[in-house]
Chain A
Amino acid sequence: MAQRQSFQIGTGLFILLGFAALAYLATQTTSLANYRQGASYDIVARFTNIGQLKLRAPVKVAGVRVGSVDAIALEPDKLDAKVTLSIDDSYKIPDDSAAAIFTSGLLGDQYVALQPGGSPDNFKNGDEVVLTQSSMQLEELIGKYLVGGDAGKAGDKSKDAAAAASGDKKE
């Protein structure tokens, strides 16, 4: 009888340990860890390009997390991206703040950075961020560099590039 009891205790401990491990994995190592249960308010920001911004991506002020991306939708008439940001109620943000999409590190995820303005009034639920800066697209930057200001300059540059390439080949 005592032996049977010890089996049951052992099994109970094992199942407890297993579920504790599952709870730890689910709450401490996933996006649930960033989930704030506190009250929040929503503000809207429109971007011409959101890059790889994902749902639940962090919203930061001065690098500190203040909320998360709640929804991403395409505005049908303007064809720009409407991003709903859910901001924790405890943070008051001036209503002339600017929103920008940045990347954390070289390979990191994208997040929305709010640059605080100087207005005495704060964002309220449903307000829209007027000043926005879209995510940087590497292809666009390269394109801008290659095409350069005017056409003649671009021609020179491509000639230079061609010369450099052939020069490399000779060596």
Chain B
Amino acid sequence: MSASRRPSLIASGLAQVGACGIFLLQILRALPRSLRYLRETVRQIFFVGAMSLTIIMICGLFVGMVLGLQLYHTLSIFGGTAALGTVVALSLYRELGPVVTALLFAGRAGTSITAEIGLMRATDQLDAMEMMAVDPLAYVVAPRFLAGVIAMPLLACVFNALGIFGAHLVGVNWLGLDSGTFWSNMTSSVDVWSDVMNGVWKSAVFGAVCTLIATFQGYTTPPTSEGVAYATTRTVVFSSIATLAIDFVMTAFLM
């Protein structure tokens, strides 16, 4: 029993990845049709983006403050506290901003997307839409996907801005670093395209991946309350793993 279980697990895992890939193609094919439901997309940007602002802003502030404290301590060992602004900005723009935003997004917005679509599946609303000749991929899934791709980079930018503010608060206002040194070191070593926009591309990809996983899990959930619960959990787990793995691959290629 246990010997035959292992290959079937791998096979079903592969089948899931394959089904997810096909689902992505279906979403992309439904995207032009979903432009008819632009209002729905706007509503989804509000739900996944604007409603996530509070958690993103608070977390960005604290991540920046912690970075300021930790890096100030570490840099003071080498007598290089002047580089605090540079190090905080580079680590936020290139890694922490996009990745932490994606993890928070998966927990805040991904779960609600999965639960919503999963309940639509469980209560046969998706089948009802098909009966009314409304394509659920174009009306339900594609607007959420589009909203995720649009909202994630904007959220990451807000996260980064608050992070810089937090690091400035700790480094300059509390620990007494010179404000001019903080900014001038940052502005002389941070580049728009290779650092700021690099993070924006990354977070757009993370937005696509997180919403793809969330909508896929919701769309294919077993139509039971237990099934929806498992699908929601899997959304967070798979989104986090995919975000961190893709982050490594993208960093290796974009460096």
Contacts and interface: CB of A to CB of B under 8 A. Distances in A.
A90 interface: no
A151 interface: no
Nearest to B150: A15
Interface in B68-82: 78-80, 82
B217 interface: no
A14 interface: yes
A18 interface: yes
Interface string A103-147: 001111100000000000000000000000000000000000000
Given A10-B46, A25-B161, A106-B80, A31 B154 contact: no
B160 interface: yes
Contact of B190 (A10, A14, A31, A105): A31
Contact of A14 (B50, B164, B185, B187): B50
A30 B93 CA distance: 11
Interface stretch (B109-117, B134-142, B191-199, B236-244): B191-199
Interface string A1-41: 00010011011011101110110111011111110000000
B50 A108 contact: no
B89 A29 contact: yes
A29 B190 contact: yes
Contacts of B150: 15
A14 B46 contact: yes
A58 interface: yes
B103 interface: no
A10 B50 contact: yes
A168 B82 CA distance: 36
B180 to A, nearest CB: 12
Given A31-B190, A33-B187, A15 B53 contact: no
Nearest to B85: A29
B19 interface: no
A14 B45 contact: yes
Interface string B33-49: 00000010011011001
B82 A107 contact: yes
Contact of A26 (B78, B155, B158, B196): B196
A22 B49 contact: no
Contacts of B45: 11, 14-15
27 contacts: A10-B46, A11-B42, A11-B50, A14-B50, A14-B151, A14-B154, A15-B154, A18-B49, A18-B155, A18-B157, A19-B157, A21-B154, A21-B160, A22-B153, A22-B154, A22-B157, A25-B196, A29-B164, A29-B186, A30-B187, A31-B188, A32-B192, A33-B183, A34-B187, A107-B79, A108-B185, A109-B189
Given A7-B43, A22-B196, A34-B187, 7 more contacts: A11-B45, A25-B157, A29-B164, A29-B190, A34-B188, A108-B82, A109-B185
Interface of A: 4, 7-8, 10-11, 13-15, 17-19, 21-22, 24-26, 28-34, 57-58, 105-109
